[in-house]
Amino acid sequence: MNLMEATIFAILIAGQPVEGIPFSCRLTDDPKMAICSDDTVIREFADGTLEFNGKHRVSKNRRRELVFTTGVTAHFDSLGWLQFSNGFAARRLEGDVFRLAQPRGPDLTCRYTILARRTRCAAE
């Protein structure tokens, strides 16, 4: 499971995190399952599909485009941002650090800590 992708998708599906409270996800002992700070449970299936709380799914079609069961669509813009139809945008800054622009509120900086098997997104 790409935990950073799963974390960003969890935020997109849930909406904006509570301002001032970091959002995080961690892998469980089962590398195909993660739990987030808002109690979202993410499961990965053999085909790479991610399921959020047993009801929303994100997969990639044959052209490697993201498919959300919520109806959200995504495309890359000319500056390298992954733009989502619900107003969010994501971009890798460097290594394991990503920026998530929200439609309302401050941008979030998301970091992946390999040893802790955890992501953390917070306004900076």
Three-state DSSP at 110 gives strand
How does pLDDT run across 62-94, given as a tens digit for each residue? Answer: 888 899 999 999 999 999 999 999 999 999 999
- The number of domains in the chain is 1
How does pLDDT run across 22-61, given as a tens digit for each residue? Answer: 999 999 999 999 999 999 999 999 999 999 999 999 999 8
Domain extent at residue 18: 3-123
Q: What phi-psi label fits residue 15: left (phi over 0), alpha (psi between -120 and 50 degrees) or beta?
A: left
Report long-range pairs for 112-115 (Cβ below 8 Å, ≥24 apart): 112/3, 112/4
pTM of the model: 0.89
Confidence band (pLDDT; 50, 70, 90) for 119?
very high
Task: Tell me what pLDDT residue 74 has.
Answer: 94
